Structure 1
């Protein structure tokens, strides 16, 4: 049965307009993005198949162009559209952080870090540089590789903070393993960064670890 033959309150577009986007399942949201199905399958049927094939919405959105375009009903045009949607989401979250203090929007900060780091296949160490009102000046990935293997240089973080006239920082990195629990190395490098910044009267507010859908705050753990 075509979606147009469904009851109006069950059609994804009408459901979104009546009840809001939050009321839709992943497959329904994806169906709106796809717009049309393929022969013998509605857009919702196709969306469900794609989610099952990729292992969920997050994996689908992070898929490489080659992997994405191998799926039935998808191609380069849809890949470009999806990447544009993902990037707009990241920029929206960054803009939201710039407009109000980071700690006044902890949920948005976590969402932003998830959007930036969750799908990275290698470890990325990034810094949020903040002004004296804790508004976001800049988000910048600085180091790549494991904390133990690839050097994280506190002096480089401090130098960049001075260039940007930052008053405070939040550092963050991901664990591609999917295990968010902070390691001993995470705690050690946090202490070194905090001490380097303290000499310049710049505060380290937090060190966040991103893994899967989880963001762990070392400050909340009392490890800062």
Structure 2
């Protein structure tokens, strides 16, 4: 998951001379608000990610996660549920915390994986500070979740930490 297309978009600036339009309830077109554009992008990426071969399209998954976690003001822990062929079954935001931490309950993660008949998970959480480096608590949590999920034959493929536009992969850094 090292290929990254998003940094090229960081310098993109919305130009008022080329507005984007949305259709309102009355069917009239009007200039779109920034949050409407982001919401539409999230929906589009979610449709593309769901049912796709997640591991063969890491840039798509990363773009989706940046949109979902990159600008959040609090930590959110989520799971990307995968089937036995590593296709995305679902994306679930499981826990919300504060600006510096969130409480994650391994029992609930296991229950959620079983309810969705997941074969594997990608764990995800954001660091509102913008620093994507994992803390010792992040590393310990990852190991606890891997142990708990392995008891029910669910593999943890990676734990991704989103810090603004940067995504840190624990698997890529040998922490899995």
TM-score by length of 1: 0.65
Whose helix fraction is larger, Structure 1's or Structure 2's?
1
Query: Alignment partner for residue 97 of structure 1, among 49, 55, 59?
Result: 49
Write the distance in 2 (CA, Å) between the matches of 1:111 and 1:30: 24
Q: Secondary structure at the match of 1:33?
A: coil
- Please tell me whether residue 189 in structure 1 is matched to residue 175 in structure 2: no
Distance in 2 between residues matched to 1:120 and 1:128, nearest whole Å: 18
Runs of 5+ unmatched residues, structure 2: 1-7, 22-28
RMSD (Å) for aligned C-alpha atoms: 2.6
Contact 1:166 1:202 in 2 (8 A): yes
Partner of 1:32: 18
**Whole-angstrom CA distance in 2 between matches of 1:28 and 1:90:** 17
- Residues 72-98 of structure 1 show CA distances to partners (whole Å, capped at 9, x for unaligned) of xxxxx9786432221121111111112
Q: Does 1:213 align with 2:165?
A: yes
Greater strand percent: which structure? 2
Q: Which has the higher contact order (CA 8 A, sep 6+)?
A: 2
Alpha-carbon spacing, 1:27–1:220, altered in 2? closer, same or farther (3 Å): closer
> Distance in 2 between the 1:194 and 1:148 partners?
23
Larger-Rg structure: 1
When the two structures are superposed, what TM-score results if normalisation uses the length of structure 2? Answer: 0.82
The number of residue pairs the alignment matches comes to 161
**Aligned partner (choices 155, 163, 176) of residue 115 of structure 2:** 163
Could you report, residue by residue, the CA deviation over 1:104-134 in whole angstroms, capped at 9, with x for unpaired residues? Answer: 0011111110000001001111111111111
Which ranges of structure 1 fall in alignment gaps of 5 or more residues?
Answer: 1-21, 36-76
